[in-house]
Chains A and B, each alone.
Chain A
Amino acid sequence: GAVVSQHPSWVICKSGTSVKIECRSLDFQATTMFWYRQFPKQSLMLMATSNEGSKATYEQGVEKDKFLINHASLTLSTLTVTSAHPEDSSFYICSARGRDRVRQETQYFGPGTRLLVL
């Protein structure tokens, strides 16, 4: 139980294009979803927190217009990297915190999406 999926797992795009990453909780309802960014050999950096049906809360230094987050349902959140540039190349990981049968304090991570912008 408590499975989170991400799609796509890999994406390569040209500079200037937009990329959408989906995060789904497959067997539980996610009241909160988190989006992280991780550079090689570094820790996870929280980008934003999204609650179902409300606007995402962005961490300081993260551009809201650059990284669009939508949490339309209790099982789906999307991150859109708009007008991607090479410096946006990174490993993006989502996580979900749920309710009911899963431990509410625990966040369950997706497998991550590797983005390479050429």
Chain B
Amino acid sequence: AQKITQTQPGMFVQEKEAVTLDCTYDTSDPSYGLFWYKQPSSGEMIFLIYQGSYDQQNATEGRYSLNFQKARKSANLVISASQLGDSAMYFCGLYNFNKFYFGSGTKLNVKP
């Protein structure tokens, strides 16, 4: 069975500081993909970053980086230099067998 776990229902970070959002997953398939999406209060899901299970290097997209530790089955999202606009819900996702599974989400609040 596939499973995504986000253990932090809510997080606070000071503006301009870095923050790590945790995500662990469970899958028996060697081929999978990991995602992070941002959902602001408007409801839209915004794609942030993708990591393939066979990718050798950690994915980076601007201020977002994914700390992929395959042996630990973790795919934490690191946001550097937080901005007020980063305040939103963040969902970690697993792609496997043409299906996507999402974690319960982490609500990030960036304080000025």
Report A's interface with B, CB cutoff 8 A.
32, 34, 38, 42-44, 46, 49, 91, 93, 95, 103, 105-112, 114
Report B's interface with A, CB cutoff 8 A.
33, 35, 37, 42-47, 50, 52, 91, 95, 98-105
**Do A106 and B35 have beta carbons less than 8 Å apart?**
yes
Q: Is the interface of A mostly helix, strand, loop or mixed?
A: strand
Asked if A111 meets B44 with Cβ closer than 8 Å, knowing A44-B91, A46-B99, the reply is yes
Q: 9 closest Cβ contacts across the A-B interface?
A: A109-B45, A112-B43, A105-B33, A111-B44, A43-B102, A43-B104, A44-B102, A43-B105, A105-B95
Would you give the shortest CB distance from A46 to chain B, in whole angstroms? 7
Choose among A42, A46, A114 the residue that contacts B43 (Cβ–Cβ < 8 A).
A114
Choose among B46, B47, B98 the residue that contacts A32 (Cβ–Cβ < 8 A).
B98
Q: Please give, as numbers and ranges, the residues of chain B lying within 8 Å of A44 by CB-CB distance.
A: 45, 91, 102
